[in-house]
Amino acid sequence: MWALDRPWRPGTRPLLADTPTRLLVALAGAVAAGLLLADRIPLPPGALRVVGVAAGQGALLATALAWAGCRTRSGVVAIVLLVAAAVATTLDPAGALGYLLVPLWVAWLARSGRLAALGLAGAVPGRAVLAAVLLGAFLGGHLLVSASLTLGVRLRAGRGGLVLAALAYDVGANVLAAECFFRGALFNRAQRRWSFATGLLLATAAYVVRYLLDPLLPKSVEWIVGAAFYLTLLSAGNCWLFWWSGSLVPGGVAALLFFAAYRLLGTGA
């Protein structure tokens, strides 16, 4: 038994241990530089979006990878792929398919066993995936119904290419980075340090704040309240799925289904 036959030292690692500080500072510097330049010189269209995607999603993903024990250059590779995909998307919406390279890179890291700390190792329980599908479908369906009832939002029609591009972005950047950081890294560390409830509250609060600060979110009270409502439920559900299954995949599935419903609305992306 561990408590009897294994030596133990009191004390725990800091919550933010292994954070790639220099990389995050560099990304913050890039954002600041982009904003400064945008005020002084005309930038190419979509340049700020490229910087924002690289800094926002890249910072989350690189931090998650570093917390899992990967070297900083693994995060740098992910950021480079994100930048490339964002640049390609500015040139042509089909370039968003480039975002799919990021999950491939993460899958390669996971296959070599380096992302076990993020819940990306071993088999994925089928029941957890089924529960994730139900959760994502319920929240997504509820969003579609509520949005159409309260805000009069209609589904996108005849713009399948944009929806697919947004879905590729979600798969390779938005959902992947958020689930890796807020669930695999932050919630996982917090629940191991304190408790499930504390981890859930911390991860959910950070998750909601991240999306409320997202410049792409419509700045109306209804959208902000709705985002807080659905993202809180999604985050809580995904934390439970992660705790229950020990895998990050079910939460990713639920989030993808929810964001797929979100992309069907005539806003976002």
Partner 1 sequence: MTRALAAAAALTLAVVTTLIVQAGGDPASALRHVYLLPVVALALAFGGLGGALSAGATLVLYASVVLPAIERSGLTPETIEGLVTFALVAGVGALGGTLTTRARRQRARYETILAVQRALAGVTLLEAALRSVRAVLIDRLGAADVGLVVRDGEREVAAAAERVVAGSVADRVLTGGAAVFVPDTGDGSRPRRVFATPLVVAGQPIGVLAVERVGELGGEERAAVEALGAHVAVALENARLTSRARRFADELERQVANATRHLEELDRAKSVFVAVASHELRTPLTALQGFSEILAARSLAPEEVRRMAGIMGAEAARLGRIVSDLLDLSRLERGLAPTLHRTPVAVEAALAATANLFRRGAVDTLVVDCASALPPVDADPDALERILANLVSNAVKYSPPDSEVRLCARRAGAMVEIEVLDRGAGIPDEARERIFEPYYRAPDVGAVRGTGLGLAVVKALVDAHGGTIRVESAVGAGTRVTFSLPAVS
Closest contact distance (angstroms) between CB of 78 and partner 1 is 23
| Site residues (vs partner 1, CB under 8 A) | 1-10, 12, 116, 119, 121-122, 142, 145-146, 149-150, 191-196, 222, 229, 233, 243, 246-247
Q: Which is nearer to partner 1, 31 or 229 (CB)?
A: 229
Least Å distance, CB 182 to partner 1, is 17
Dist CA 164 CA 179 (whole Å): 20
Comparison of 8 and 219: residue with beta carbon closer to partner 1: 8
Which helix (DSSP H) or strand (DSSP E) does residue 60 occupy?
helix 47-67
CB 256 within 8 A of CB 168: no
* Neighbour-count burial of 93, counting CB atoms closer than 10 A to its CB (0-12 exposed, 13-18 middle, 19+ buried): middle
Q: Minimum distance from CB of 66 to partner 1 (Å)?
A: 18
C-beta closer to partner 1: residue 194 or 265: 194
Nearest residue to 103 (alpha-carbon basis) of 248, 264, 254: 248
- Shortest separation between residue 57's beta carbon and partner 1, angstroms: 25
Choice between 216 and 225, CB closer to partner 1? 225
Contact 51, 26 (CB under 8 A): no
- For partner 1, which is the closer residue by CB, 19 or 243? 243
* Amino acid sitting at position 214: D
Return d(Cα 244, Cα 93) in angstroms, integer.
37
What is the closest distance, in whole angstroms, from the C-beta atom of residue 196 to partner 1 in the complex? 5
Min dist CB 120 to partner 1, Å, is: 10
The smaller minimum CB distance to partner 1, of residues 3 and 213, is found at 3
Write the burial class of residue 195 (CB in 10 Å: 0-12 exposed, 13-18 middle, 19+ buried).
Answer: exposed
> 238 exposed, middle or buried (CB, 10 Å; 0-12, 13-18, 19+)?
buried
Nearest residue to 167 via CA among 224, 76, 103, 79: 103
